[in-house]
Amino acid sequence: MKPRNKFQKQVFELSKKLPSITQKQIEWAYQNSIVHYGYRTKNGVINCLECGNSWHSQHTLIDSICGSTCPNCQMELTIKDTRKRIFKDYQYFCIITTCKEFQVLRFFYVNYSAKAGKKAKYFHAEVVQIWIAPNGKFEFIAKLHSKTYFGDYWCFQTQLEIRPKRNHYNINPTCIYPHQRLISELKRSGFTKNFHKLTPLDLFNILLTQSKAETLLKSGQTKLLHHFTQRNFEIISDYWASIKICIRNDYQITDAPLWCDYINLLMFFGKDLHNAKYVCPANLKSTHDEYVRKKREWQERLKRENAKKKALQDTTRYNEMKSRFFGITFTDGLIQVRMLDSVEDIKLEGDILHHCVFTNDYHLKPDSIILSASLHGQRIETIEFSLSRLQIIQCRGLQNKLTEYHDRIIKLVEKNVILIQKRLVA
């Protein structure tokens, strides 16, 4: 796409003046971005997939663990016991340089194709340039990239042009050329050529736009740096007071997501987030788990209190709707079935049999009444009975399962429907 604004036009013109990649850089990329294999046959013959040389090795286990050096090309090889004879791979490497006041990231695609007995073939092409201004503003200059059902592909015949800000241009390279040139704003940021599992763009952009990121990097809190960069960095303000306490006390946070979750728990319980006693626990996991347990207990208490409030609110309504059926009870000598006469009794029924008769408000359905079947005084099944159809809708026991007395309970209720019908017309 054509450059549209002043910034795009400036970087696009400067891009044309960048020098070509040197032969030394190409050779370094071939050496370091690709894993070089030697495949070994059952007879112990190792074939170097770099130069095509082959030789016999007696040290099967040692070669597999430590690798081997090709006596012909001196390439360090990773040994594979396989029948596969053709190997293909592609990776990216990055050159970090500057141009005028811009930090420039140049990404090269490296393709590798090897076949036993032949010299490996390599191909490289510059596919992406990222131009970053000292204020963190950036633009992508790249070849066209297409996504298909079968994968991602670069259109190598296209030119390097201004491209939209899409994630596939934000490359995380396999390796970075060791000779790097940095703008002064990054030199003083504490950057030490370690990207801490972030892409070069993500790290440079956050260091140039967020002063707190520079503080994290210089203090060694790189796990936090990675955590907040991968998410919304603005939320770091919620934790900043506690982070400063950690820095002041030389407390290294090794599990950033767990620590942030722990701080959220401290906020929930109203603890002092400026106190090292809380924010710098000796054992983060066990302390975190203890607060999780406390919060669960609090949630359970709240749930019980809300259930009690709901039961009180439901009692008046329940009495108005179902009081005419209170007192219904019948038995066959072994099984006793009775009407549940109170909301509290219905809640207890659900708690004992571990089903949702109370939580799903079955007792407040205008067309239903709830009966309980007992054996020797122990509740065994709960019955939902339809008043309009005068028949059982469902009959469930512990955890919604049926008991061995299920059919007997059904017959007992059906035999005594007349008792419910009399109350209905009364």
Q: Which helix (H) or strand (E) holds 214?
A: helix 211-218
228 vs 362: CA distance, rounded Å: 47
Chain-centroid distance, C-alpha 164:
26
Q: Under CATH, which number does the domain 321-425 receive?
A: 3.40.630.30
Q: What is the pLDDT tens value at each position of the chain, 426 positions in all? A: 888 899 999 999 999 999 999 999 999 999 898 888 888 877 778 888 888 788 877 665 545 545 678 888 888 888 877 777 788 889 999 999 999 999 999 999 999 888 877 888 999 999 999 999 999 999 999 999 887 666 668 999 999 999 999 988 999 999 999 999 999 999 999 999 999 999 999 999 999 999 999 999 999 999 999 999 998 899 999 999 999 999 999 999 999 999 999 999 999 999 999 999 999 999 999 999 999 999 999 999 998 888 777 777 778 888 888 999 999 999 999 999 999 999 889 989 999 999 988 888 888 899 999 999 999 999 999 999 999 999 999 999 999 999 999 999 999 999 999 999 998 886
Longest C-alpha distance within the chain, in Å? 105
The residue extents of the domains of the chain are 6-176, 321-425
Give per-residue burial for 357-394: e unless 16+ CB within 10 Å, then b. bbeeebbbeeebbbbbbbbeeebbbbbbbebeeeebee
